[in-house]
Chains A and B, each alone.
Chain A
Amino acid sequence: NAGVTQTPKFQVLKTGQSMTLQCAQDMNHEYMSWYRQDPGMGLRLIHYSVGAGITDQGEVPNGYNVSRSTTEDFPLRLLSAAPSQTSVYFCASSYDSNSNQPQHFGDGTRLSIL
């Protein structure tokens, strides 16, 4: 069972470069989200989607774009990477946006911006 798959697992970028973090789930989950985790900060919500074609901003959306063209995929784009975006990024999904649904997390992408 693949669950939530994130690629790449590690990435080093130079300031100003762009890249896309991939997230895919095979559980037919409607709800998907992206978090970043920094030391001493806990997980913070970047963007989320309640279904294909619908996205919304979380707590820290600046510098990131998302799209949800299919139920399975929810890529996160960094348009112009900055050192402040060095972090561990987690993608998560749940069956729907019902508040009682737990979220399933991917393994994470460790991103360093030089």
Chain B
Amino acid sequence: RKEVEQDPGPFNVPEGATVAFNCTYSNSASQSFFWYRQDCRKEPKLLMSVYSSGNEDGRFTAQLNRASQYISLLIRDSKLSDSATYLCVVNLRSTLTFGKGTMLLVSP
């Protein structure tokens, strides 16, 4: 089983739609979790950390289920500018493991 797995997509959604991405991780000892965003041919940028209690940042909501080793990202009211690849990232003993990313395409 791969360490961090994501559906590669692409997810094609219209503006204003709500879209959800899922991610699973294999190592139950993983300590912290993040969602990064990567635009084409650019560096990854932190979108948000993911906490067990769930957390929200504007239109973005992240959830963590440690029992199921599952992380999610919900984007509400999608904007054209949300088009990017979303990377699920897991931290274990000071090393980050990246999922391959889920591509989102938001159309007018």
Q: Do A and B bind each other?
A: yes
A42 & B87 in contact (Cβ 8 Å cutoff): yes
Chain B contacts for A33, CB-based, 8 A? 95-96
Asked if A105 and B44 make an inter-chain contact with CB atoms under 8 angstroms apart, the answer reads yes
B32 touches A100 (CB 8 A): yes
CB–CB B94/A50 < 8 A: yes
Judged by DSSP, the binding face of B is: strand
Nearest chain A residue, comparing its CB with the CB of B99 = A42
Q: Does B34 contact A (CB under 8 A)?
A: yes
Interface string of A51-66 (1 = CB under 8 A from B): 0000000100000000
Residues of B in contact, count (CB < 8 Å) = 22
Tell me the interface secondary structure of chain A in the complex: strand
Please name all residues of chain B whose beta carbon is closer than 8 Å to the beta carbon of A99 when the two chains form the complex: 31-32, 91-94
**Minimum CB–CB distance for A106 against chain B, Å:** 6
Do A43 and B49 form a contact, CB below 8 Å, given A48-B95, A50-B94? no
Would B95 and A58 count as touching, CB distance under 8 A?
Answer: yes
**Bitwise interface map of B from 91 to 108 toward A, beta carbon under 8 Å scored 1, else 0:** 111111111110000000
Residue in B34, B98, B101 with the greatest tally of chain A CB atoms within 10 Å: B98
* Cβ contacts A to B, 5 pairs, < 8 Å: A42-B99, A99-B32, A99-B92, A100-B31, A105-B44
B interface residues with partner A (beta carbon < 8 Å):
31-32, 34, 41-46, 49, 87, 91-101
* Chain A residues within 8 Å of B, Cβ to Cβ: 31, 33, 35, 40-45, 48, 50, 58, 88, 90, 97, 99-100, 102-108
